[in-house]
Amino acid sequence: MGNRPPSLNWLRFPVEASLGRRFPEAIHPYRNPFQRDRDRILHTRAFRRLENKTQVFAPGLSDHFRNRLTHTLEVTQIARTLATALELNGDLTESLALVHDIGHPPFAHAGEDELNRQMQRFGGSFNHNLHSLKIVESFEHAYALFPGLNLTFEVREGMVKHSRDFKLGEAKEIDPYLAGQRPPLEAQLIDLADETAYNTADLDDAFSAGMFRLEDIAEAVPEFARILELVQMHYPAAQPHIQFLECQRSLINLLVSGLAEGTATASIEAGVMSVQDVRLHPVRLVRYNEPAKATNGELKAFLTKRVYYSPSLLEERTRSVKRIADLFQFYLDYPDRLPEPYRMQSSQRLPHEVICEYIAGMTDGYCAKLHLELID
């Protein structure tokens, strides 16, 4: 099972140091601001819509596949475990994990790529992290006194910066969030917790869809071969899907432990003494140790080769891309068919931006239904 990683408690982001909310609010008697942010995120409409958004596998084939909601919960579990093990701020980490995909458009990465392609026709772009920020800043209406959720600065910062750093001046929406600096470790954790969660989950979903056998994974991922050998020695009579789950458990443990250890080692070697040092450090400090990094890379290569470009997924992707492209064009041609308040906005703002925001908020099911009604 490996060892407990060392604590990084001096790098924990203290909730008392938060730069706070845009609109000041009275403090809650027993929930701190990061806990309240978590609760606000959980109660949004955008969070509930994740249930009907594809992660990788469209739900038609099986009831057991991850969707973007269950994926989000798995990321949250892994991120929470890491934050607890390293003694970082679990509340901040949890809020960031729950919100990390809230701006994801319908139809997974194909949907995101297609919206980006549509926006590029007009010299724009689409990025789901920036869309997430718009959701929590203005699209969610839950409070009488302000638009959006009025989240703390650190949660908003982590939302836009969790997956990569931005230079000052690179994106005007990100400049106010200490562009040019690294986010705290709690936010840096999210990206690799996400990667750990989806690589192992995609392996599980694809295995249960019958896309490969245990031996195929073992051939491509040496660490999986070692784990499989142990599992088959201990449980020779177990069904392959049970052997798979035994292997997957060890694999997740190896990646999560490797991530905790790699992060602790990097932080200690860098000599960072405070959150401010983490912010000013030239590179991110959350990383896998070498064995976990190698295994994760092999896993990713295997999934890319055997799963992500498989004919059934490509077919689904082509259909999804077409739906988004058709709807985008339909609303460009007939902006008066947009529902309120988008219709009103389309006459005051650039119509393609309004259309993009409307489509990005849709679930897969709604997008497909609308396509059927308006175009097919």
Min CB(330)–Mg ion separation in Å = 29
Given the rule CB under 5 A, which of 143-151, 193-201, 222-230, 321-329 is the region that contacts Mg ion?
193-201
Q: Is 195 in the site for Mg ion (CB under 5 A)?
A: no
Please state, as a whole number, how many other Cβ atoms lie within 10 Å of the Cβ of residue 68: 21
Site string for Mg ion, 67-106 (x = CB under 5 A): ----------------------------------x-----
Min CB(184)–Mg ion separation in Å = 19
Distant-in-sequence, close-in-space partners of 228: CB < 8 Å, separation ≥ 6 = 214, 217, 218, 243, 247
Min CB(233)–Mg ion separation in Å = 35
Distant-in-sequence, close-in-space partners of 306: CB < 8 Å, separation ≥ 6 = 206, 211, 212, 216
Cβ(119)–Cβ(376) below 8 Å: no
Distant-in-sequence, close-in-space partners of 161: CB < 8 Å, separation ≥ 6 = 174, 177, 183, 187
Q: Is 202 in the site for Mg ion (CB under 5 A)?
A: no
Instruction: Decide whether 101 or 114 has the Cβ nearer to Mg ion.
Output: 101
Min CB(200)–Mg ion separation in Å = 13
Residue where the block lists tokens 């035994």:
246
Site string for Mg ion, 320-359 (x = CB under 5 A): ----------------------------------------
Instruction: Decide whether 82 or 338 has the Cβ nearer to Mg ion.
Output: 82
Cβ(254)–Cβ(223) below 8 Å: yes
What whole-number distance in Å separates Cα of residue 187 and Cα of residue 99? 11
Min CB(195)–Mg ion separation in Å = 8
Given the rule CB under 5 A, which of 186-194, 207-215, 279-287, 353-361 is the region that contacts Mg ion?
186-194
Buried/exposed 181-191: b ≥16 CB within 10 Å, e otherwise? bbbbbbbbbbb
Min CB(48)–Mg ion separation in Å = 17
Instruction: Decide whether 101 or 223 has the Cβ nearer to Mg ion.
Output: 101
Instruction: Decide whether 12 or 49 has the Cβ nearer to Mg ion.
Output: 49
Min CB(74)–Mg ion separation in Å = 9
The size of the interface with Mg ion (CB under 5 A), counted in residues, is 2
Instruction: Decide whether 91 or 194 has the Cβ nearer to Mg ion.
Output: 194
Min CB(197)–Mg ion separation in Å = 7
Opening angle at CA 117, ends 355 and 74, nearest 5 = 85
Q: 55: number of CA atoms within 13 Å, CB side?
A: 25
Instruction: Decide whether 194 or 223 has the Cβ nearer to Mg ion.
Output: 194
Given the rule CB under 5 A, which of 21-29, 136-144, 194-202, 284-292 is the region that contacts Mg ion?
194-202
CA 233 from centroid of its chain's CA atoms = 36
Q: Is 194 in the site for Mg ion (CB under 5 A)?
A: yes
The H or E element spanning position 110 is helix 108-120
What whole-number distance in Å separates Cα of residue 326 and Cα of residue 73? 32
DSSP-based three-state secondary structure for 5 = coil
Burial of 335 (0-12, 13-18, 19+ CB in 10 A): middle
Instruction: Decide whether 96 or 327 has the Cβ nearer to Mg ion.
Output: 96
What whole-number distance in Å separates Cα of residue 337 and Cα of residue 195? 39
Min CB(203)–Mg ion separation in Å = 15
Chain positions contacting Mg ion, by CB under 5 A: 101, 194
